[in-house]
Amino acid sequence: MKLSEQEAAWLEVRRYLEANRFDLGVDAQHEYVDHVKFFETPLLTVANWLPLSPIPLLGIDLQLRASQTTAGSSVDYGANLPLSLDNTTYQNYADVFQALAAPRAFQNRTTYRLEEAELTDTSRSRLAFSLGRYFDSLNTGEASAHEYAAARLGRGDGGIRKNIKDPCDLAQRPVNMAVSALTLKRTAGGEFEFFLHWRDPKKVGHAGGLYQVVPSGVFQAAGEEALHQTNDFSLLKFLARELAEELLGEAEINSDGSRALDYSEWGLFRKLQVSVDDGGARMWCVGLGVDPLTFATDLLAVLVFEHDAFADVFGEVTRENDEGRVLAAKRFDEATVSNLVRNERMQAAGAALLASAWHHRDTILSPS
């Protein structure tokens, strides 16, 4: 592909970002000295996103406003984007990304856009959403990571990070909330294990080359039609779809039909619901946080499965999926958690989730 001089320079910065994403993320936290760091990890948070003790995930009040919010372009937020060969300036980071470096999965699907969050305690836990688009966060957050990498290379610093002064202020930018969940399973011997996911940069548009908990994905419906947006607006339904993709290697459920998905007909969801109802599976929320490099915003969940419940719902776990590779189960103990949080190339949300889960282990691991 023939590139303009500016496109070639953009691609060099992009490659540098991918090769150094972890170190850049660790460094970027120091731009936010006044922000709370989630359990001394790089993940940024605020007081009303950080409950003193875990709260029931499925007890969070979810509110959906039917309107779809129009987001500004990357240029509107201050991005410095390249000229193409015909001297046209790109308006959005996603357009440059798609033209020069798009991964295998790259679709501008409708998402649930986070507008308000309160997670202080069980009685007041609430998340309010409107509708947005997947590229909305990419055009601000991933673009901000790119300009941070460019500044490191001495190629200017752009304007996004100057204009979005507080990435934890949900009014300053479009926020596609991801749900990142640490899946813990009790072994036959009574100990607990968990899984990690290596995100393949050739397959994903965000956090490629880093380790993350399983599952993790942007909160969205299975289809674009309004009936899906309403029917799929559930953390349990969303997690069931993500667990099927990442732990079992199944294809993403992506409906383009005029009939809402009937989750009661889906065997995995039925088994998951039964496990939740009878206590074989327990689901907790430990907070909400923002990555200091990419502004990715994650609801942090812990899914705890008793031995028989996990075997019944999942059986064998895959080693490969559409977004990367699932590592062999690791022991949930202090040494393993500490090493991953302090020494490994963990995504900020994953590190924060592991640290928080270990801190709250007495609560989250105790049977109801």
Coil, helix or strand for 264? helix
Q: What is the pLDDT of residue 71?
A: 85
Contact 67, 131 (CB under 8 A): yes
pLDDT on residue 324: 84
What's residue 206's pLDDT? Answer: 62
Q: What angle, rounded to 10 degrees, do the helices at 21-28 and 143-152 form? A: 90
- Per-position pLDDT tens, the chain of length 368: 799 999 999 999 999 999 999 999 999 999 999 999 999 999 999 999 999 999 999 999 999 987 767 789 999 999 999 999 999 999 999 999 999 988 777 889 999 999 999 999 888 899 999 999 999 999 999 999 999 999 999 998 779 999 999 999 999 999 999 999 999 999 999 999 999 998 877 766 566 688 999 999 999 999 999 899 999 999 999 999 999 999 998 888 877 777 899 999 999 999 999 999 999 999 999 999 999 999 999 999 999 999 999 999 999 898 887 778 899 999 999 999 999 999 999 999 999 999 999 999 999 998 86
Long-range CB pairs of 6-12, under 8 A, 24+ apart, other chains included? 6/82, 6/83, 7/82, 7/83, 7/84, 7/85, 7/96, 7/99, 7/100, 9/82, 9/155, 10/81, 10/82, 10/96, 10/100, 10/146, 11/100, 11/101, 12/153
Beta bridge pairs of residue 281: 305
Helix axis angle for 5-19 and 143-152, nearest 10°, is 90
DSSP letter at 39 equals G
Element housing 320 (H / E)? strand 320-321
pLDDT at 47: 95
Predicted local confidence at residue 339, as pLDDT = 96
Dihedral (Cα; 44, 48, 54, 56), 10-degree rounding: -120
| Dihedral angle computed from the Cα positions of residues 225, 180, 116 and 64, in that order, rounded to the nearest 10 degrees | 20
- How much is the pTM? 0.95
Distance, in Å, from the CA atom of 30 to the CA atom of 293, rounded to the nearest integer, reads 10
pLDDT at 205: 59
5-365 CATH, one of 2.30.30.100, 3.90.79.10, 3.40.50.2000, 3.30.830.10: 3.90.79.10
